[in-house]
Amino acid sequence: MPFFDYLAVNEECEEVVGVVDAVNDEVALGTLTDQGLLVLSLKTREGKRGFAKEITLFARVKVKDLVVFSRQLAVMVSATLPVVAALRILVNQIESVPLKIVVSEVADAVDGGARLSEALARHPKVFSNFYTSMIRSGETAGKLDEVLNYLADQQEKDYDLVSKTRGAMIYPAFILFGLVAVGFVMMVFVIPKLTEVLAESGAALPFTTQLLISISGFFKSFWWLLLLSAAGLFLGLRYYRKTAAGKKHTDFLILKLPVFGPLIFQKMYLVRFTRSLSTLITGGVSLTEALAITADIVGNEVYREVIRQTIREVEDGNPIATVFKESTVVPNMVTQMLAVGEQTGRLDTVLNKLSDFYSREVDNAVGNLVTLIEPFILMLMGIGVGIMVAAILLPMYNLATG
C-alpha cells in the first residue's frame, strides 16, 4: 500500500507532520480527516508505488469479506446513493486490504465512466463471472438495487451452508488426525520399548504380539519412508487433480464416497446448481447463458459435463430436463420439478424451492453424521486399546506370573 507524507493542523491549531499508508490519496485524506486533522499538504512517498499491486497478487479475498461488501453495497444503492459514492464509502470501511485495493480501483473505473459490471469484470479472481453477470443484468433492467439485494441474500446463504459443513467436519477431522498422530508416536517410540522385554524373554508370543512387534519395527526403521510416501502421495494427487482427466476422476470418486458422497457432497452441488441458476434467471439472464455460468461455478466436473450437455439440448429446442433424466447424479425429483417449472414458466421459483429443500437436507445430514461419528470414533479408540492390551499387557502379565 502506498505511503503519503502529510502536513496538517490539529484541533489545537498545531501543525502536524507524519506518514499515513492508504490505497490512494482520497483514502489517506479521509483517514486523516477522521482523525480530526485539517490536511494542508499530502504527497506520495516515492519507492512505494506498485506495492498495492503486489498485495493483490499474493493475497486472497475471503468469501466472508465479499459477502459483507455485497450486503453493504446493496443497502447503499437501495438508499439511492450513487454507485461511485457508495464505493468510496466502502473503501474506508472495508478491513480486508486486498478487497480495499480492488474496490478502490473499481470506484476509479466507475468514476471514469465504466459500468459497474465492467469494472468488476476486470478483477475475475475476486468477482466471479456469476457475480458480474448478475450486476450486468441489474444494470440492463434498471434494477441494480434489487439485484444487489438478491445477490447478497444468495451469497449469505451459500456462505452459511459452506461454513456449517466445514465447521461440522472440524471436530471429526481433528480427532482422526490426533488418533493417527498418537498411533504413529506409539509405534515408533513407546511400543518398541514395551515389546523389547517380551522379545528378550524367549517366551512364546501370541500372533497379535508378533504382528505388533513387526509393524512397530517397520515404523521405527522406515518412518522417514512413510512420511516421504505420504508427502509424495499428497503432491501426486494434487498434481493429478489439476489435469482434466484427474479432476473428472476425483470429482466422480467424491460423489461415490460411502455415506459422505450421496448424503452431503451430491446435495451440496445440487444446492449450488439450483441456487445459482435461480439467481441468474431471476436477475434476467437468459437460460443458456445462465446454464453456462452455472457450469463454471458448480465446482464438480461430473455436474459440469451434465450442464454443458443440457446447454446443447436447450439450444436445439429441447426441454432443460432432457439430459437430467439420463444422469445418475441428478435425483428424479429434480428432473420432474424442472420439467414442471419449465412448462409452467416458473422455473426460477421451482429452482429456489429445490435449493431450500436440499439446503435443509444438507444441514440435517451434517448434524446426523456428526452425531454418529462421535460414537464411531470412540469405538475405534476402544478397539485400539483392546488390541494393545491383548498384544502387550496380557503377555507381560503371563510372563510375570508364569
Comparing 143 with 359, the larger pLDDT belongs to: 359
- Locate 386 and state its grid cell: 483392546
**Residue 380: pLDDT above 90?**
no
On the 0-12 / 13-18 / 19+ scale of CB atoms within 10 A, 30 is middle
**Residue 52: pLDDT above 60?**
no
- CB-side exposure of 173: number of CA atoms within 13 Å? 6
Average pLDDT, the chain: 81
pLDDT of residue 57: 46
Residue reference for cell 483517514 = 31
Give first-to-last CA distance, the chain, whole Å: 76
Residue reference for cell 490505497 = 23
**Residue 392: pLDDT above 80?**
no
What value does the mean pLDDT take over residues 112-124?
A: 85
> Any alpha helices (H) in 243-265, and if so which ranges?
244-255, 260
pLDDT of residue 350: 92
What percent of the chain has a predicted confidence (pLDDT) above 70? 91
Residue reference for cell 446448481 = 273
pLDDT of residue 96: 82
pLDDT of residue 368: 79
**Residue 319: pLDDT above 80?**
yes
Q: Which domains does the chain have, with CATH numbers?
A: 3-49 (3.10.20), 59-149 (1.20.81.30), 150-402 (1.20.81.30)
| Residue 402: band (very low, low, confident or very high) from pLDDT cuts 50, 70, 90 | low
Which DSSP state fits 6?
Answer: E
Dump pLDDT digits (tens) for 196-212: 777 676 667 777 777 87
For helices 144-185 and 266-282, the axis angle rounded to 10 degrees is: 170
pLDDT of residue 46: 52
Q: Decide: 58 and 98 in contact? Cβ < 8 Å.
A: no
**Residue 379: pLDDT above 70?**
yes
- Locate 155 and state its grid cell: 451469497
Lowest-pLDDT range, 27-31, 118-122, 184-188, 378-382? Answer: 27-31
Lowest-pLDDT range, 166-180, 329-343, 355-369? Answer: 166-180
Dump pLDDT digits (tens) for 236-278: 988 998 888 888 899 999 888 887 788 888 888 898 888 888 8
Q: How far apart are CA 282 and CA 74, in angstroms?
A: 16
**Residue 305: pLDDT above 60?**
yes
pLDDT of residue 56: 47
Residue reference for cell 498384544 = 391
